[in-house]
Amino acid sequence: MNIEPIIIIAGEPYSVFLELLFKTYKSRMFKKYNKPLILIASEKLVLKQMKKLGYSYKINLINKNIKKNKNLNNKKINLINVDFKFSETFDKISHKSSKYIQECFDIGLNLVKKNKNYVLLNGPISKKSFLKKKYLGVTEYVSKKTNSKNKEVMLIYNSNLAVSPITTHLPIKHVTKNITKKKIIQKIKIINDFYKKILRKKIRFAVCGLNPHCETNDQFNEDEKIIKPAIKILREKKVNVKGPFSADTIFLKKNIKNYDVIIGMYHDQVLTPIKTLFGFNAINITLGLPFIRMSPDHGPNNQMLGKNFSDPTSLIECLLFIKKNCGN
């Protein structure tokens, strides 16, 4: 039986991602991992970092047309090589890597567009240098590239609790005008369908209010005028959702045991507590695309590049999730 491979875009070349990948190959979990990994990256860069960090894996250069590569396995690093002229010393993140990163994404996205059973996993990207001001984040970049704009949902997942912000990498001053009933309803329905179809689980949602204690002295109260009506419509559609709850207490232990997913109105409202609770034991899943896209829940961490101290837990959790829930 053919087992669908996992397409991995290494992302920012001056990041710790390759270190994390090398550590993942060495982990106990990976010894029996049966889904082939296909890495899209620069061969020279992989070899350079491997040498610097003291790892020694053989590389299997493969064709962009994956179907021509038979009997793929993880005894070697399966690599689609993308040329990249990197500095002889590990450099700082800059716009000079943008063309290389874009080519890696083009190859990866082309593969998953042709076969929607593949899972796309990407390493961290510098939003400032690669995305510039065109996209809020990689979530929006991938949704635009796959004609899924405004359908994308960021889900930060742990099996005990997941969170999702209605707005993503958006400056706080723009949050209020980007919260609508339609957006809340659409995103919660997409998450609900994902849990039903992929995880085969009926889930319980809690929704955070926007304002402290869900109260405001302003003339317009978003919690009353937008969030509560959205929750009412979802409940009428038999979605198990409650709220709005004050964000400063919903993450207390006695409260989170009653819910599977907590919906926030903005990025840090829910990502700060889940990272406090689970550290790197959480993964970033983009829903609303024609395929599943995932990434470890951390950034490039350029300052730690080449030091061999970075924690691969989030990447390992991504691969475990894919093995358990995605395809054969």
Do 146 and 23 share a domain, yes or no?
Answer: yes
What pLDDT score was predicted for residue 96?
78
Contact 152, 40 (CB under 8 A): no
* DSSP character at residue 213: G
Q: How many C-beta atoms lie closer than 10 Å to residue 183's C-beta?
A: 15
Compute CA 83 distance to the chain's CA centroid, rounded to the nearest angstrom.
25
What are φ and ψ of residue 60, in 5° steps? -110, 100
Q: HSE, CB side, 13 Å, CA atoms: give it for residue 276.
A: 9
Which of 211, 182, 155, 185 shows the shortest CA–CA distance to 325?
155
Determine the average pLDDT of the residues in 174-183: 96
Of the candidate ranges 94-108, 151-165, 180-194, 248-262, the one whose mean pLDDT is the lowest: 94-108
221-251: pLDDT as tens digits: 999 999 999 999 999 999 999 999 999 999 9
Residues 76 and 185 in one domain: no
**49 vs 299, which has greater pLDDT?**
49
Residues 230 and 326 both lie in one domain: no
pLDDT band per the 50, 70, 90 thresholds, residue 17: very high
Q: Are residues 263 and 178 in the same domain?
A: yes
Angle, CA 115 vertex, CA 109 and CA 119 arms, to 5°: 65
- The dihedrals phi and psi of 216, each to the nearest 5 degrees, come to -155, 150
pLDDT tier, 1 (very low <50, low <70, confident <90, very high otherwise): very low
Residue 313 and residue 264: Cα distance in Å, rounded? 25
Task: Identify each DSSP E strand in the chain by its residue range.
Answer: 6-9, 37-41, 59-61, 77-81, 119-122, 153-157, 162-165, 205-208, 241-245, 261-264, 283-287, 292-296
CA–CA distance, 319 with 24 (Å, rounded to integer): 9
pLDDT above 70: residue 18: yes
The tens digit of pLDDT for each residue in 54-87 reads 999 999 999 877 766 667 889 999 999 999 876 6
Three-class SS state of 280 = coil
Q: Are 99 and 176 within one domain?
A: no
Q: Are 143 and 192 within one domain?
A: no
How far apart CA 21 and CA 74 sit, in angstroms, is 12
Whole domain around residue 271: which residue ranges?
Answer: 158-281
Question: In whole angstroms, what separates CA 240 from the centre of its chain?
Answer: 25
Whichever domain contains 307, its CATH number is 3.40.718.10
Inter-helix orientation angle 17-26/313-325, to 10°: 60
Identify the sign of the CA torsion 189, 182, 166, 16. Answer: positive
Domain count, the chain: 2
The answer, yes or no, to whether residue 313 has pLDDT greater than 80, is yes
Query: What's residue 215's pLDDT?
Result: 82
Cross-strand pairs, 307: none
Nearest alpha-carbon partner for 315 in 301, 300, 298, 296: 296
- The values of phi and psi at residue 272, to 5°, are -60, -50
Sheet holding 77-81, edge to edge: 59-61, 77-81, 37-41, 6-9, 119-122, 292-296, 283-287, 153-157, 162-165, 261-264, 205-208, 241-245
Amino acid of residue 129: S
Look up the pTM and report it.
0.89
Mean pLDDT for all residues in the chain: 90
Mean pLDDT of 306-321: 88
Residues 147 and 3 in one domain: yes
pLDDT in tens, 116-147: 888 999 998 877 778 777 788 888 899 999 99
* pLDDT higher than threshold 80 for residue 318: yes
Interhelix angle 17-26/43-53, rounded to 10 degrees, is 70
Residue with tokens 């010393």: 89
Burial of residue 95, with CB atoms counted within 10 A of its CB: 0-12 exposed, 13-18 middle, 19 or more buried: exposed
Please identify which residue in the block is written with the tokens 């390493």: 123
Q: Is residue 89 scored above 50 in pLDDT? A: no
At residue 328, does pLDDT exceed 70? Answer: no
Give 39's strand partners: 8, 79
**Same-domain check for residues 142 and 175:** no
* pLDDT at 269 (0 to 100): 97
Q: Mark whether 265 and 228 lie in a shared domain.
A: yes
77 and 211: one domain?
no
146 and 237 within one domain: no
Predicted local distance difference test score (pLDDT) of residue 72: 83
Pair 186, 94 in one domain: no
